Amino acid sequence: MDETKPQAAPPTCDSCGAPDDRLEPVRRVYLDVDDVGGVRELATLDDDEWWCPACRASYPHKPVPDPPGRADGAPTSPGAGR
């Protein structure tokens, strides 16, 4: 009899949906471009999202000021605080 348990699927990125175990909590930022090409922040969402390294490198965001999780502020897992 096989006593191995099925492995849980890795958590998925809230931005792209890719499975990844290196997710970090961020807040999505929306930008606006003016008539002369200047970029300004339009809005930062209050909701925490868990993003993979590729999305954090590609899209505007801010780190979560006080991520959910341990007393030292380190997140315990994606889903904590969702």
- Quick one: pLDDT at residue 65? 83
Expressed as residue numbers, the domain containing 76 is 10-82
Give domain status of residue 56, yes or no.
Answer: yes
Nearest alpha-carbon partner for 45 in 33, 60, 30: 30
- Are 16 and 55 a contacting pair, CB within 8 Å? yes
pLDDT of residue 66: 77
Cα–Cα distance for residue pair 32/22, rounded to 1 Å:
29
Domain count, the chain: 1
CB atoms near residue 24 (< 10 Å): 19
Whole-prediction pTM:
0.68
Amino acid at 77: S
Q: Tens of pLDDT along the chain (82 residues)?
A: 556 655 555 699 999 999 999 999 999 999 999 999 999 999 999 999 999 999 999 999 999 987 665 444 445 555 544 4
In a domain, 14, yes or no: yes
- Contacts for 7-10 with beta carbons within 8 Å, 24 or more apart? none
Alpha carbon of residue 56 to chain centroid: 7
